[in-house]
Structure 1
């Protein structure tokens, strides 16, 4: 068989670089879009930021907010190791945050960063009147505390880790533990929850009502209190309902995680992409200018390129086209976000009027068919995009959910059912809380057909305890 050349025609869908960039920008969050804009500003000299003093951003036709640059393009708006085994490691005592040299600077440091659990305890240890050797032992136990301020490592293991040359005995570590537990907030240095609660209860004045009974429960019957087995507790402790209720309230006021007050948590900030407000009795969505990069093509470079021609400045011509593509794709991104947001607002009007109970079932396909877009596009738009409403800030995906049938032939969203279950729990008699079966019956009386196991699933998703743990005296 002789080799031959054959010519065939076929159709193939190719993603151009411009389309790839548009799809990528659509799925990015507001923070990521701004980071991408900063990267483009650094790499492309034809792209520049629109100065704030240029004035207000003109509106485009319709609800979408956009600006137009000078070139006519749409522009979106906006510790330490030891030298010798026989030497003690020096604990890192520091009181700089408490006694700064400059008063003004000190306030700034304290406001910027609070001391952690270890730093705070070591500072208190440094201020105590203990002997140097005792301070070293207590500092050793401070380093062994976990994030909840518990001493989860047994003292025997800590003792085995110490060099014999130091001459430390198990009794020395027991004494150091007692000294640690009296440094600051009671409960620090406890080895389990029982000891943590007992330390806090012991620190209360002796005349506090219910203190002795609460101590007995925390020390010997904490499992019965956790199971809400009040009948057995009253029988074992020989007390009545009032006394047991007083002790229960006292225990619940204790802090089971003493180290929580020293946790350093970074705040998560969300810049909403869309603002929702009611105007003239109609709920409308509009783009948030603060979430939109203010960019435009550098007109000076663009004019030079037009005069010289693309052949003499091919690299700059390519960057000019990339800048225009980026601005156009940004505008398309925000236009699509606004269209999807307005469609959601129109379908979830009852939510904005009445809250979660008014949420209706909604799937991506409904919005996609209304806007004549693909479901994958709606999925990208609703991921990591946020909507600021009078009821709070919600991710777009919050407004989507499945539904259950009602007797009237309609459907009730899972969000609304969760809200109804939460309302039933909040309004129930604490002495006779509703079981999952009873809540299913109440919902059925309201025309919502839901199985007991579905109620249990929704209740667990909201971290609501079962009926036996919600029972109170």
Structure 2
């Protein structure tokens, strides 16, 4: 075979850079979009953020200036008097501009009241005012620094506690064996064995430390406490009693309950640190120390029989135990950062009509830099002119993609509110079944586009802040031939459990029967799945005395 050239004609679909950019911006959250816009501002000189201008100066803008990306935000109103009404949506154009005072043309009074402030009389002035750094600037280092962990807190407390070198080594091994919950993950015998295995290395470190301190003229006896046995032996002479004594000392550190071997030990440590006059303290210590298994299985009858406590007294003991922290390490800040949610859609009710609008705080306000755009020459093919032309084209694509994103988001959010109008009026129990295909047909878009729009986008409503995905749910058939949303079923289950008798909570089978009485056919395993998704324990764990 010899190489040959062949010419074929065919058709294929390719994604243009403009389409790729539009899809990328469409699936970004509000925080990610803000970072993307900032990156575009830094890389493209043709883009600039719109500055708030005084009202009197808006009429002096030249007609050749490029329009802003968000000159007005469409607001959709529709009546909610009837859930299935076909009233047409009313589009309103709203432009929010800050009212300012032109200080050059305005007249300043000759005399001002003694207790008046400049900002109270001339708000929104266009004159630049130099101000000192904000509080966020002072807190920059603390915000960017890693958060304190439980290990850091325990090590800090250890450094402030006077101990001998041997006890310091034992305490360090114990702290390293404590997990992020605050529990000891190994036995004391294993800790002692590990110290003995590294005894020669630890003794050499102690010896080098003593020599360095002695060379500096520091008396090492004044820096550490003598050993309990007074023999001043090395690390190879430690016994299990010394490890227990150091562990008891660490268990006095904050947070209370740290260094416990198990849950019962953790609760017992916290009870011992309570004041002696705390009501029911002794009884609670007895229950935790000897009957923690019965308490976990909620066998209150057996606990009352073995402890000779009355029902009222046992209730007080349980209330005291419930004030304790089973995970003491959780009180120390973890490494995870708090992620904030900024809703991009705001739904309000005004005069009996629901209004859907974009959040003006998250709506980008960009425009073409007219100064740089005026430098472009048509007949010039130099590198500088080509650079400006390319950036101008990219800036226009970027603005168009941002505008398309806002329009698509508003259109999808409006259709969601129209479909779930009963939810906004009555609550989760009135939620209707909804899938991506329904909204895709309503807005004449593909399901993948709806999926991108509803991912990591949030809606602020009078009932709270919800992700757009929250309004989509599967359906369950009813006995009458209708459909019920899975979200509504979860709300009904939660409501039934909230009204159950504490002494005899509802089982999953009983919940299924109660839903069947409402003509909702749901299997017991489906009830268990919904209950676990709402983090509701089973019936045997929900049992209470009152």
Q: Give me the TM-score of the superposition, normalised by structure 2.
A: 0.73
Matched, 1:452 2:465: no
User: Are the aligned partners of 1:284 and 1:345 in contact in 2 as well (CA < 8 Å)?
Assistant: no
- Is 1:232 the equivalent of 2:265? no
Match among 286, 308, 321 for residue 251 of structure 1: 321
SS in 1 for 2:339: coil
**How far is the alpha carbon of 1:51 from its aligned partner?**
1.7
SS in 2 for 1:305: coil
Q: 1:228-307 to 2 correspondence within 5 Å?
A: 228-264=298-334, 265-306=336-377
| Deviation sequence 1:97-127 (CA, Å, 0-9, x none) | xxxxxxx9xx979986875434444444455
CA distance in 2, matches of 1:244, 1:341: 52
> Could you tell me how far apart the structure 1 residues matched to 2:527 and 2:310 are?
34
- Quick check: 2:255–2:329 contact (8 Å CA) kept in 1? no
2-side partners of 1:295 and 1:50: how far apart?
5
Extract unaligned runs of 5+ from structure 1: 68-103
Checking the alignment, whether the CA contact within 8 Å between 1:382 and 1:397 is kept in structure 2 is yes
- Mean CA deviation greater in 255-264 or 201-210: 201-210
The 3-state SS of whatever aligns with 1:291 is coil
Cα distance in 2 for residues equivalent to 1:42 and 1:405: 54
The one of 157, 171, 175 aligned to 1:138: 171
Q: Which residue of 2 aligns with 1:463?
A: 535
Residues 242, 315 of structure 1: CA spacing in aligned structure 2 closer, same or farther, 3 A cutoff? Answer: same
The answer to whether the 8 Å contact 1:310/1:317 transfers is no
**Kept in 2: contact 1:118–1:143 (CA 8 A):** yes
Of stretches 230-239 and 452-461 in structure 1, the one that deviates more from structure 2 is 230-239
**Map of 1:219 onto structure 2:** 289
Q: Map of 1:312-327 to 2, 5 A cutoff?
A: 313-327=385-399
User: 1:180-195 maps to which residues of 2 (within 5 A)?
Assistant: 180-195=250-265
In 2, Cα distance between the equivalents of 1:37 and 1:153?
Answer: 51
- Tell me if 1:50 matches 2:34: no
Larger Rg computed on CA atoms? 2
Secondary structure of residue in 1 paired with 2:429 = helix
SS of the residue 2:349 aligns to: strand
SS of equivalent residue, structure 2 residue 178: coil
SS of structure 2 residue aligned to 1:289: coil
Mapped contact 1:66–1:331 kept (Cα < 8 A): no
Residue of 483, 486, 492 corresponding to 1:420: 492
Kept in 1, the 8 Å contact 2:348–2:354? The answer is yes
Aligned-partner Cα distance in 2 for 1:374–1:109: 44
Residues 39 and 345 (structure 1), Cα distance of their counterparts in 2 relative to 1, 3 Å cut: same
Matched, 1:154 2:183: no
CA 1:186–1:60: 2 relative to 1, 3 Å: closer
Cα distance change of structure 1 residues 351 and 60 upon mapping to structure 2, 3 Å threshold: closer
> Tell me, what secondary structure is at the counterpart of 2:367?
strand
Distance 1:110 1:294 in 2: 30
Matches within 5 A, 1:312-351: 313-351=385-423
Bigger share in helix: 1
Counterpart Cα distance in 2 of 1:2 and 1:118: 71
1:382-401 matches, within 5 Å, as 382-401=454-473
Change (3 A) 1:186 1:109: farther
- Once the two structures are superposed, what CA deviation does each residue of 1:283-332 show, in whole Å capped at 9, x if it has no partner? 22111122122211111222221455567722321221111011101110
C-alpha deviation, 1:184, in angstroms: 3.8
